[in-house]
Amino acid sequence: MNIIRNNKLHYSKDFINACRINNLKPAALLQYFIEHISFYSFLGAEMEPIYLWATRVVTDCTVQPGNHVTENTNPAQRDIALKYIKLLTTLLFEEGVDKAAETEKSIVIMKNWAADMAPYRDYPQGTITSSGDILHFSFDLNLICSLKGLTVPQVLQAFINDISLAADRGNNLFQNTRTTPAMTVLLLLLSSHEAIRDKILPHQHIYREFGLRLLEIDKILKEEPGVQQRIDHYDIFYHQWYTALQLADTHESRDHHGSE
């Protein structure tokens, strides 16, 4: 298995805060993002929103100096690529197919393409994070990166860097106009994934306290015209929320060990 071991991913404070407050593991959020990147969306198809926004994170990435587009010089690989691009193009112009069915058909086509390409291309299949979690890369992600001259760690870092509860709240306090693609992926996960949406969060008293405080801060900051000033205030607030949850976990762990 081709694994990237020195990925140098850096979990920003904002990313860690967002994961903890929303009761998500960082690796789980990253894997969810990876699994919804779509080459079919990259071609311009109108898919379900989560695929469009996850793919948008990749297409928005800027090629770094020294990176290069991977050229396909193998005739067999070119024939395979042509075969599956034709299938995707046919699907793109097929009439009477709803988005959900179109999405599922495109996923099947991409799985078959990945299987046919496996003997020819040694794409990186995953990476190990600093915390020891394994992230599995999709064929779609590897393919788009090779076409755009990007690296997978670069794309993952771009996603991490775009996650910020403070920036999202500060920018969109008056109206929702500046939510980043990565934040949209997070919000779609929280709103549409039943196992996450309906899960009872631990430390309910903390969520009640900080939920009420957030509403009060919103009222105060609606009088603040400066976007960066609003973001700075929310940044302090969200980190306090994160810290309160971490302390509650620590106390709970001590109580558990003390009762053994």
pLDDT value of position 29: 97
pLDDT tens for the chain, 260 residues: list them: 577 666 678 999 999 999 999 999 999 999 999 999 999 999 999 899 999 999 999 999 987 666 666 666 689 999 999 999 999 999 999 998 899 999 999 999 999 999 999 998 889 899 988 788 889 999 999 999 999 999 999 999 999 999 999 999 999 998 777 899 999 999 999 998 776 766 778 899 999 999 999 999 999 999 999 999 999 999 999 999 999 999 998 877 665 555 55
Whole-number pLDDT of residue 194: 72
Asked whether residue 250 is domain-assigned, the answer is no
Backbone angles phi, psi at 46, to 5 degrees: -90, 100
**pLDDT at residue number 47:** 92
Q: At what angle do helices 139-148 and 49-59 cross, to 10 degrees?
A: 30
252 token code pair: 């709970």
Global pTM reads 0.90
Q: Contact at 8 Å (CB) between 132 and 152?
A: no
Tell me if 218 is assigned to some domain: no
- The number of folded domains in the chain is 1
In a domain, 255, yes or no: no
Long-range CB pairs of 192-198 (<8 Å, 24+ gap) are 192/50, 196/23, 196/24
Nearest to 18 by CA among 187, 197, 158: 187
Cα–Cα distance measured from residue 68 to residue 145, given in angstroms and rounded to the nearest whole number: 10
Residue 63's domain spans which residues?
Answer: 3-161
Residue 84 located in a structural domain: yes
Q: What is the pLDDT of residue 217?
A: 97
In a domain, 14, yes or no: yes
Confidence at residue 236, expressed as pLDDT on a 0 to 100 scale:
98
Q: Is residue 203 part of a domain?
A: no
pLDDT at position 128, please? 86
Per the domain annotation, does 239 fall within a domain?
Answer: no
Residue 100 lies in a domain: yes
Mark residue 6 as left, alpha or beta (left: phi above 0; alpha: psi -120 to 50; beta: remaining). Answer: beta
